[in-house]
Chains A and B, each alone.
Chain A
Amino acid sequence: MSVSNMPALQLREYLERLPGTTFRKLYQQPSTAFAIFRRMLPHLAKTFVMRMLFMPAPMLLADLDIWVKPDAKKQKDQALFILQALHIVHISPPSREKPQEMQLTTNFKNSMRRALTGGGTHNSFGVPSTLVVPPEIDIPFLDRYARKKWEDILHFVVSSVGFKSAGEVSGPNKSVKELLIAGRLVERRPNGSIGITQTGFTFLLQEANAQVWTLLLLWLEAMETNKMAGLEAVDMLSFLFVLASMELGRAYDTNALTEQRRNMLPSLVDFGLIHVPHHKRSMFFPTRLATTLTSSGNSLRSISEGVAAATSAAFNGTSNSGGPPGHGPLKSSTELKGSVVVETNYRLYAYTSSTLQIAVLALFSKLNMRFPDMVAGRLTRASIRQAIQFGITADQIISYLAAHAHEQMHRTAALTNKPVLPPTVVDQIRLWQLENERMKTTGGFLFKDFEDQKEYLAVAQFAEEVGVLVWRNDKTGMFFASRHEQIRDLLRNRKKAE
């Protein structure tokens, strides 16, 4: 039984909760304005921003309709909603005397112009270090370093289930552990051990980039409640955007940072986002985890899309590795090659010695043998049931197995012209889920008590257009929507218009 509306802490939701004054401060930094533009906006919204960027005066809201095809009204409304939620666009309130106007907010406009045209001494994209770079620190070194740090964290999250590795890994720093517990990715069980939660599972199945953001946002929230540390969330957030715009493999000057930002460095080292050489404390290197923070606009995807992405990443693992250094997400070492064999009798073999992958497999299978380079186990009703109770879905399990299938599985499948995973197993996993998934839950809002049928129909129609409608019943005049902000605004505007 899974709640489809996960309280996943994602960047956009976090940003949308911030007040307008915070945004004004954030947008003072060209790097922040640029990163939010690149990362957070759908294509149509980007087009709007670029068209309006060098306009000298506000434009009429009605003129926007000329830019957009009539049948794309839904996309236009969504783009405008996001632009307003992120305080990029300001739209004047409706009134009888003047038509509605829209314009970019001042700070965003100025910073965006500066980011694109260059100039100014804002140092918002980091100050490179002038010192000699130690020769041993190159891109492969940084990748190994970041991967080790990140896998330590993932390990800690999964370590509670299934196999304990013999040579226990060092694990992340204590502060990171506290953070994971505070964020409820893991929880302390009554017997004192650490156990994974449903949020933790979702976290585990996200792609690396989304995982990093989840952790960083937890960190920001923890800092807000703990003002003693003297760190301000706004400044921290803009520093993260600065990091994201830095170049991989290059050393940056620690002394050029404000004291506050210098204080952030130890935590960032713990997360593996930056590397500070032991003997040269005045320089730091951003790792791939940091420089890809804003690299793709669709890193804010849902869990299922995240899995799909991880799946395709694993499939393309070998072909991608030849790409230019400094681009593309950090691949986990376990994702690079398929290693899992699934038989029609539900037996499962994985040729791996990665404790991380073994721990992930143990989440949904019953492992009963471990050899130096291989584990063996079974998919059982109970193991799948346990996974589903933790919040993993059958589709997630199936795509994980498909993505990590051993090349022998692919070869046999290609020869016999059959799917990679045995269909019986795939079907049975789905059936086991159905057995446990007795109801579907959707969080949201029930709208009722409309004045008349006309009002109901108009509002329900609107909810359907903006894509938040889940269920409607025209007879009783009620509908259920997953979000209420847009509907609330509509109802307000209708009231004003009356």
Chain B
Amino acid sequence: MPRAIRGVLIECDPSIKSIIVNIDSKNHDFIIEDLDEERVVVKENMVGELKRRLEDRLKENLPPVEESGSE
């Protein structure tokens, strides 16, 4: 019998995807199904949290570009 699982499909670069997998690897509470290099299905209620954590991760690694130009 086929199954239907509610979730959110995330499509992104392989680099971002590996960060997502890494975030998930601690407690396995985000990912429902790892589809391929650029796609994962994530629990609906965790998307916001995932985005926040991803943002934090990226901030650690690449500092935001300084704003240039005069007012």
Contact = CB atoms under 8 A, between A and B. Distances in A.
A102 interface: no
B44 interface: yes
A484 B12 contact: no
Interface stretch (A111-119, A321-329, A376-384): A376-384
A63 B13 CA distance: 49
Contact of A381 (B5, B8, B16, B65): B65
Contacts of B54: 438-439
How many A residues touch the partner, as a band? Answer: 35 or more
A444 B2 contact: no
Nearest to A380: B67
Interface in B32-71: 32-33, 35-36, 39, 41, 44, 47, 51, 54, 58, 65, 67, 69, 71
A62 interface: no
Interface in A421-469: 438-451, 455-456, 459
B7 A441 contact: no
Interface stretch (A15-23, A82-90, A349-357, A470-478): A470-478
B35 to A, nearest CB: 7
Contacts of B12: 438-440
A487 interface: yes
Contacts of B9: 441-444, 446, 470-471, 480
Contacts of A3: 8, 47
Given A438-B16, A439-B12, A491-B2, A381 B33 contact: no
A346 interface: yes
Given A381-B65, A473-B36, A445 B10 contact: no
A296 interface: no
A268 B37 CA distance: 53
Interface residues of B, number: 29
A423 to B, nearest CB: 18
A450 B69 CA distance: 57
Count chain B CB atoms within 10 A of each CB in A378, A444, A455 and give the residue with the most. A444
Contact of A450 (B2, B8, B13, B32): B2
B11 interface: yes
Contacts of B67: 380-382
B71 to A, nearest CB: 7
A441 B12 CA distance: 9
B47 A451 contact: no
Contacts of A473: 35-36
Contacts of B4: 445-447, 484, 487-488
Nearest to A347: B71
Contacts of A449: 1-3
A478 B33 contact: yes
B3 A448 contact: yes
Given A1-B51, A346-B69, A378-B71, A446 B5 contact: yes
A382 B69 CA distance: 13
Contacts of A450: 2
A378 B71 CA distance: 8
B6 interface: yes
Interface string A371-412: 000000010111000000000000000000000000000000
Nearest to A436: B55
B5 A438 contact: no
Contacts of A438: 12-13, 16, 54, 58
The 8 closest A-B pairs by CB, nearest first: A439-B12, A440-B11, A442-B9, A445-B4, A446-B5, A450-B2, A449-B3, A480-B9
Interface of B: 1-13, 16, 32-33, 35-36, 39, 41, 44, 47, 51, 54, 58, 65, 67, 69, 71
Interface of A: 1, 3, 345-346, 368, 378, 380-382, 438-451, 455-456, 459, 470-471, 473, 476, 478, 480, 484, 487-488, 491
27 contacts: A378-B69, A380-B67, A382-B67, A438-B54, A438-B58, A439-B10, A439-B12, A440-B10, A441-B8, A441-B9, A442-B11, A443-B7, A443-B44, A444-B7, A444-B8, A445-B6, A446-B4, A446-B33, A447-B2, A447-B3, A448-B33, A451-B2, A456-B2, A459-B2, A471-B9, A471-B35, A476-B35
